[in-house]
């Protein structure tokens, strides 16, 4: 009888130790960071998006050709005036006559915050995209309504972390006779910047869909031009 009691006590002590070790290990595990509530985004029709949105675009910083800042935009303050004289490139620099057209290119840096885990692993990578289509985020995923700028990037940061991505954005201007003389006006302006997960966007695309519906993040742009 005493042997049975001794064995019982030993087993109880052994189980207690095992539980203690298990709890100790659990206490030292790093808890999984959940998706940010902002990631529960919607389609343009107001219905919940099939997959959470991975990113938030904190801001876009535009640079002059000398490397200094030309201006910044973000959600709620998305209007920017970019000067022809400060562009990194002007494909028609000698243009002075009315109705002459040209394309201006600026270096841009996007500050991006991850707010959700990817629904699908990327294939080639995340695409930095833009549109000059008059419909903006309601442009379609058919070719020619939006464009990738630069190469695809990995964007492997953790939820809650930010990253910076550099690329170029371009838009068209036209010279017009204004009360102040011959000046550049917008011909085909920047309307929106977007980030695609190349696999998630393919899964969401109904051929066609709105570009704003298949993007992981987007920022409308109100683009003006000056001399």
What's the domain range around 117? Answer: 39-226
Asked if pLDDT for residue 21 goes beyond 70, the answer is no
Number of domains in the chain: 2
Q: What is the CATH number of the domain that holds 110?
A: 2.70.50
Do 17 and 78 sit in the same domain of this protein?
no
**In terms of domains, do 10 and 96 share one?**
no
Across 217-223, average pLDDT: 98
Quick one: pLDDT at residue 204? 98
What confidence tens digit (pLDDT) does each residue in 48-64 have?
A: 999 999 999 999 999 99
104 and 64 in a single domain? The answer is: yes
The DSSP line for 68-114 is: SEEEEEBTTB-EEEEEGGG-SEES-TT--STT-EEEEEEEEEEEEEE
Q: Are residues 55 and 27 in the same domain?
A: no
Cis peptide before 142 (omega within 30 of 0): no
In which band, very low, low, confident or very high, does the pLDDT at 9 lie, cut at 50, 70 and 90? very low
State residue 32's pLDDT score.
56
| CA distances, 201 to each of 66, 117, 212 (Å) | 36, 15, 10
Please give the share of the chain, as a percent, with pLDDT higher than 70. 86
- At residue 33 the predicted structure's pLDDT band, cuts being 50, 70 and 90, is confident
Whole-structure pTM value = 0.85
């Amino acid at each position: 009888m005493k042997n049975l009691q001794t064995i019982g006590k030993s087993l109880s002590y052994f189980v207690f130790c095992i539980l203690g070790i298990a709890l100790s290990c659990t206490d030292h595990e790093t808890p999984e960071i959940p998706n940010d509530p902002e990631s529960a985004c919607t389609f343009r029709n107001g219905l919940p998006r099939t997959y959470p949105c991975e990113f938030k675009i904190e801001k876009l910083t535009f640079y002059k050709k000398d490397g200094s800042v030309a201006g910044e935009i973000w959600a709620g303050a998305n209007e920017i005036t970019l000067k022809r004289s400060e562009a990194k490139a002007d494909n028609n620099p000698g243009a002075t006559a009315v109705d002459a057209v040209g394309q201006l290119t600026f270096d841009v840096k996007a500050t991006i915050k991850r707010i959700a885990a990817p629904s699908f692993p990327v294939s080639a990578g995340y695409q930095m995209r833009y549109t000059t289509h008059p419909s903006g985020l309601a442009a379609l995923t058919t070719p020619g309504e939006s464009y990738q700028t630069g190469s695809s990037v990995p964007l492997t940061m953790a939820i809650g972390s930010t990253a910076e991505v550099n690329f170029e954005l371009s838009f068209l201007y036209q010279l017009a006779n204004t009360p102040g003389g011959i000046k550049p006006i917008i011909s085909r302006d920047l309307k929106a910047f977007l980030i695609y997960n190349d696999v998630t966007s393919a899964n969401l695309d109904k051929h066609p869909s709105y570009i704003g519906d298949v993007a992981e993040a987007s920022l409308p742009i109100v683009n003006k031009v000056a001399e």
